[in-house]
């Protein structure tokens, strides 16, 4: 599964001050807060502001990221940064993709989600590819509805059983090409330099700061 990010456009610069991280996922908030650290903004999470989680009705990573960012910016009156990301598995035709969190059920149990992914791969046959990629789209929106979106992608393979407890989501089963440890085993500071979210964030920083 891929997504179409808008082409070159006039990019609005982000001024110092408060910025809403439009997520209720503690792992994402922690990672985005760390990435924002050096850039002179004051991140506050949607959960801290008691902002509701909008229903993700988009059909792409871009659509869902922009939907969440615009909703948080509109309700808070502040610029908001939203992430929509997911695991795309070759043997599953790109699933779980934009539905990555939903594979964990109502409680978003990623242990269960990883078991479901493994079972689905196994059901396709003994020679199924274990290739996969993570995609992250970061969307930055302002209260007037203006939004910018940036995409990062990393390719790798899936392992089973999952390994490591340093990441979140599907990190414990994903090994980046060229590495031997999962995203759940590597130091978070290292992950911040090589992940799909880090690649999207590099583009965002270059454009808006």
How far is the C-alpha of 181 from the C-alpha of 175, rounded, in Å? 6
pLDDT value at position 9? 54
Of these residues, 84, 131, 155, 171, which one is catalytic? 84
Determine the 3-state secondary structure of 108 from DSSP. coil
How far is the C-alpha of 17 from the C-alpha of 7, rounded, in Å? 27
Burial 28-40 (b: 16+ CB within 10 A, else e): bbebbeebbeeee
20: Cβ contacts below 8 Å, ≥ 6 apart: 43, 44, 45, 46, 49, 51, 72, 73, 76, 78, 79, 80, 81
What does pTM read for this prediction?
0.90
pLDDT value at position 192? 87
Q: Could you tell me which CATH class the domain 17-208 is placed in?
A: alpha beta
pLDDT value at position 40? 86
| pLDDT per position as a tens digit, 176-186 | 999 999 999 99
| pLDDT per position as a tens digit, 39-87 | 989 999 999 999 999 999 999 999 999 999 999 999 999 999 999 999 9
Active site residue 84: yes
| pLDDT per position as a tens digit, 14-28 | 988 999 999 988 988
pLDDT value at position 6? 46
| pLDDT per position as a tens digit, 158-181 | 999 999 999 899 999 999 999 999
Name the residue ranges covered by the structural domains of the chain.
17-208
């Amino acid at each position: 599964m891929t997504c179409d990010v808008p082409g070159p456009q006039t990019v609005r610069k982000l001024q110092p001050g408060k910025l809403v991280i439009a997520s209720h996922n503690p792992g994402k908030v922690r990672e985005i807060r760390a990435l924002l650290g050096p850039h002179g903004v004051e991140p506050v999470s949607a959960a801290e502001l008691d902002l509701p989680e909008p229903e993700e009705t988009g059909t792409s990573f871009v659509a869902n990221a922009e939907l969440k960012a615009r909703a948080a910016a509109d309700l808070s009156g502040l610029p908001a940064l939203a992430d929509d990301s997911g695991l795309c598995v070759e043997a599953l035709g790109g699933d779980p993709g934009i539905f990555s969190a939903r594979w964990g059920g109502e409680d978003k149990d990623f242990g269960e989600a990883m078991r479901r992914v493994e079972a689905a791969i196994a059901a396709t046959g003994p020679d199924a590819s274990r290739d996969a990629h993570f995609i992250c789209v970061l969307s930055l929106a302002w209260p007037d509805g203006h939004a910018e979106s940036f995409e990062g992608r990393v390719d790798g393979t899936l392992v089973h059983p999952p390994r490591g407890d340093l990441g979140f989501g599907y990190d414990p089963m994903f090994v980046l090409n060229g590495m031997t440890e999962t995203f759940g085993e590597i130091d978070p500071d290292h992950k911040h330099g090589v992940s799909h979210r880090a690649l999207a964030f590099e583009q965002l920083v270059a454009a808006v700061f």
